[in-house]
A and B are shown apart, each in its own frame.
Chain A
Amino acid sequence: MNFPFGRLEWSDLKPVHLFTHEFSIDNLVGSGAAWMVVIGALAVAVLLTVMGRWGWLWREWLTSVDHKKIGIMYMVLGFVMFARGVAEGMAMRAHQTTALNGGVLSEEHWAELFSTHGTIMIFFVAMPFITGFMNYLIPLQIGARDMAFPVLNQISLGLTATGAALCMISLVVGKFQIGGWTAYPPFTGSTFDPGPGPDYWIWAIALSGFGSMFSGLNFSVTIYKMRAPGMTYMRMPVFVWTALCTSILLVFALPPLTVAAFMQALDRTLGFHFFTNDLGGNMMNYANLFWMFGHPEVYILVLPAYGIFSELTSTFAAKRLYGYTSLVLATMSISVISFCVWLHHFFTMGNSATINVAFGIATGIIAIPTGVKVYVWMATLWRGRIRMTTPMIYMTGFFMLFVIGGLSGMILANPAINWQVHNTQFIVAHFHNVLLPGLLFGVFAGIHIWFPKAFGFRLHETAGQVTAILWIVGFSLTFLPLYFVGLMGYPRRSSGFEDPALLPYMYLTLFGALLIGCALLGLIATLWISIRQRDKLAVPLGDPWDGRTLEWATPAPPPPWNFAVIPHIAERDAFAREKVDGKPFVQPPDYKDIHLPRNTSAGMIMFIATTAFGFGVTWWMWWLVILSVLVVVGWFFVTSFIEHDEVTIPAAEVRRHHNAWIEAISLATPVTRDHETDSRNRGLADTDMVVAS
């Protein structure tokens, strides 16, 4: 086939394989997954049509430039991809359990699984999750009405969705690459793998990488320039600090990845020689570029989670955060040092001993600020009046497990030890050990805290607690045994094994993975139950947890303009101080018209055009590539001639909305912490906390 389908053949359509290929479990899993994507997409489309919700989806969500809605859309995207990632994780665990001298899946299929799983989990689950949180929280916590660049924000979301879409398309059309989430050439070069797999990876990463870079730019400019009057740097909530450091990392760490991906693309598509085996190519350049991004990336992911844990400890221990300044300094040190350790990802790839030692020591040093943080949280909890609700359960799990993960990292930082355990399941245990308890638990805890803010009702507490415990136990059983499996010599990324002594561990981790599957269902169930009982769980007054930062001084959900009047900030935890002094929710003397940016389809146009671009390059449909470039360039060119206009919310409308809320507050009875989780909690807290430093 050529025009218009490029190198795409009928046999690349995976759903067809179920009928055209000989039946096997391998085929069933591969083709079945493709069917699931197709059926899932169709089901959503049908559902939207039947419920007549297309217009609503378009107007209220897809074209919205409200940072809160964009944040929520990031979370939805993350969860859709998370479902796929967990399913793949469980499939891999199932395979390995049967893998004594074989296994149910083919080796290539196994390789595709760990590659898509890793890529998706990092780029299209973890990244959207933290970007979603930063989107939702930054403007609210600094007292702003929106991001510095709302349209760019929407475009960033569109580009992230492009990457996710390419991953999903690869499940149905053609296949993904098999070189792991790192996709090292020359294994992923065109000589070894001419097929579409690596191309899908390249464009998913490169295009969504632009989105992440622009998010970082947007967030950092917002934090630098849009803070409410009086909010000096040292008065910012800790989450904002971590978001700022993450944003700076995004701005500086994404370019190496983008460059690496583009050079790979030039190698593969135009026959350049950056990373090839012959004619002067040098694959070590790729390894360096990838990890120059890759190491800061782990801090990009975990810093916002640290921010969530910081807010969580002080709110749920009802104390001011102990050691704010050290926490801020620790966060900044981590961001700087995270650029100086990347080589620890390839100690074994031919560096001199001196270089290895230098990077080993740097890696050891970066643990110090992280340690500082753990002590800060412990000191905050110390003698606090802790509420052992869902967020705190996640926090407890994080505390115990993350320290183990961090310590195994310290072990790996030693080049001599690293030589022994590199590329074994020990590494798999290590990075899941920091990513799940560190990042995911933080995200889930954060969802429990801020979901009521975003949607106006709390999540069901018992369901939340059961789910949290399932996550903690499921994680421990799935991944802690892998440390031992690794020490026994089972390599990473290998589809089978010969030593029967490993079998018991395999059963144990399979059991753990099933618990994780239940935990995922638990998340869905929690959401379902909470939606069913949303009237009982409603917290329209906006402050269900006796919060300390500005976002709690708004109704739940907050109005599109966030704040009726921009607050003036006199100290850290300003809202906490107002509550303790007994004068929160003051009526401003007068209101002004508020201007908000108008909806735009920019993000969707970028999403469609760049997805078409990625798909076109992958399958050599050059007409599609040219067309999509023209659309992107043409769109920017043409719209730059249109004066951007705004929606004006009249002062009277703002006043009405604000007054209604203040009045509801004056009629409500505050709820004490003992009744925080029952239906008496309407979002007005009977303040009981310590604000003194």
Chain B
Amino acid sequence: MSDTATTNENLHPGMNLGYSGDAEHAEVTVFGFWTFLMSDLVTFGIVFAIFATMKDATAGGPGPAEVTNLTSIAMQTALLLGSSFAFSWASLSMKYHDIIWRTLGWLAIAATSALGFLMLELYDFYHMIKEGAVPQRSGFLSALWALVGLHGLHVAGGLLWMAAMTGQILKFGLTDQIKSRITRMGLYWHFLDLVWVGIFSMVYLAGVA
């Protein structure tokens, strides 16, 4: 560990931690989380690649154009990006205010719109099932369900995490450790946005084009 780590005030511009040993450890955990995200990015990258190779493997079943409901996708995109935006506000208020309700309020907005995203996604899935566009139908649909589903599962996991964070903020207040966790959660949340932008353009826009 570098010698400066314990004294440098700008160690965590995004978090505003106290200057205890925890700050030093936060550096390590945040870096560890970045590493995890890199690995997760490889995972998504591979599923994207598989999707790309299976785009035409429709085996006579429904193709990209038939399974894309652009209105719903546009709304999902807005909701998910909105959720990320709200999360940024949660991070900022965590940094500048010691009022937990402010942070919690933004978190609630972020969670609600992510929940909306998931609901719409499930609704789309439901429609696809009704039209026979089930993953068992073709390689293309398998890849589509896997890619979108993997992202959806990440979002669902994130919601669970947010629920846990809400409880922890209520229990512990905005301690250094909680701040560090929220910072990591923020990384995760924005990362999922990024992945969604990929899905949005590669799967849906390219699909109907």
Contact = CB atoms under 8 A, between A and B. Distances in A.
Interface string A7-24: 000000000000000000
Interface centre among A266, A274, A279, A637 (most CB of B within 10 A): A279
Interface stretch (B32-40, B85-93, B106-114, B187-195): B32-40
Contacts of A289: 46, 50
Contact of B43 (A258, A270, A271): A258
Given A251-B38, A276-B139, 13 more contacts: A225-B1, A226-B28, A252-B38, A254-B39, A259-B46, A272-B136, A273-B136, A273-B142, A280-B138, A282-B139, A285-B50, A641-B167, A641-B168
Contacts of A259: 43, 46-47, 50
Q: How large is the interface on A (under 10, 10 to 19, 20 to 34, 35 or more residues)?
A: 35 or more
A280 B59 contact: yes
Contacts of B160: 633, 637
22 contacts: A217-B39, A225-B28, A229-B3, A251-B39, A252-B39, A255-B43, A255-B46, A256-B42, A267-B142, A272-B135, A272-B142, A273-B59, A273-B137, A273-B139, A273-B141, A274-B142, A279-B59, A280-B140, A281-B57, A637-B164, A640-B164, A640-B168
A280 B139 contact: yes
B204 to A, nearest CB: 20
Contacts of A221: 28, 31-32, 35
A493 B43 CA distance: 32
B7 interface: no
Contacts, number: 116
Contacts of A637: 160, 164
Contacts of B140: 280
Interface string B29-63: 10110011011101100110010011001110100
Contacts of A258: 43
A149 B32 contact: yes
A276 B141 CA distance: 13
B140 to A, nearest CB: 6
A593 to B, nearest CB: 12
Contact of B57 (A218, A252, A282): A282
A213 B39 contact: yes
The 10 closest A-B CB pairs, nearest first, are A280-B139, A280-B57, A272-B142, A280-B59, A255-B43, A279-B59, A255-B42, A271-B136, A221-B32, A280-B138
Nearest to B141: A273
A177 to B, nearest CB: 21
A276 B136 CA distance: 11
A282 B146 contact: no
Interface centre among A149, A218, A224, A225 (most CB of B within 10 A): A225
Nearest to B27: A225
Interface string B109-150: 000000000000000000000000001111111110110000
A121 B204 CA distance: 44
Contacts of A640: 164, 168
B172 interface: yes
Interface in A218-270: 218, 220-221, 224-227, 229, 251-252, 254-256, 258-259, 263, 266-267, 270
Given A259-B43, A280-B140, A640-B164, A148 B54 contact: no
A107 B65 CA distance: 49
Interface string A631-660: 001000100110100000000000000000
A227 B1 CA distance: 6
Contacts of B46: 255-256, 259, 289, 292
A217 B142 CA distance: 30
Contacts of B136: 270-273
A175 B44 CA distance: 33
A258 B42 CA distance: 11
A273 B59 CA distance: 10
Nearest to B171: A641
Nearest to B34: A221
Main secondary structure of the interface of B (DSSP, over half): helix
Interface residues of B, number: 42
A626 to B, nearest CB: 16
A154 to B, nearest CB: 15
B138 A285 contact: no
B51 to A, nearest CB: 10
Interface of A: 148-149, 213, 217-218, 220-221, 224-227, 229, 251-252, 254-256, 258-259, 263, 266-267, 270-274, 276, 278-282, 285, 289, 292, 633, 637, 640-641, 643
Contacts of B54: 274, 280, 282, 285
Contacts of A225: 1, 27-28, 31
A218 B36 CA distance: 10
Nearest to B140: A280
Contacts of B32: 148-149, 217-218, 221
Given A280-B140, A282-B139, A220 B35 contact: yes
Contacts of B36: 217
Interface in B52-106: 53-54, 57-59, 61
A58 B118 CA distance: 42
Nearest to A293: B46
Given A255-B39, A272-B135, A641-B167, A266 B146 contact: yes
Contacts of A285: 50, 53-54
Contacts of B167: 641
A636 B145 CA distance: 27
Contact of B42 (A218, A252, A271): A252
A540 B187 CA distance: 47
A217 B36 CA distance: 7
B139 A281 contact: yes
Contacts of A227: 1
A450 B172 CA distance: 44
A279 B139 contact: yes
A226 B168 contact: no
Contacts of B164: 637, 640-641
A17 B136 CA distance: 37
A217 B31 CA distance: 10
B209 to A, nearest CB: 21
A278 B135 CA distance: 13
B146 A272 contact: yes
A252 B146 CA distance: 20
A274 B139 contact: yes
A606 to B, nearest CB: 16
B138 A282 contact: no
A279 B137 contact: yes
A96 B140 CA distance: 44
A182 B41 CA distance: 24
Contacts of B135: 266, 270-273
A290 to B, nearest CB: 12
A218 B54 CA distance: 35
A292 B49 CA distance: 13
A259 to B, nearest CB: 5
Contacts of A292: 46
Nearest to A253: B42
Interface centre among B139, B145, B168 (most CB of A within 10 A): B139
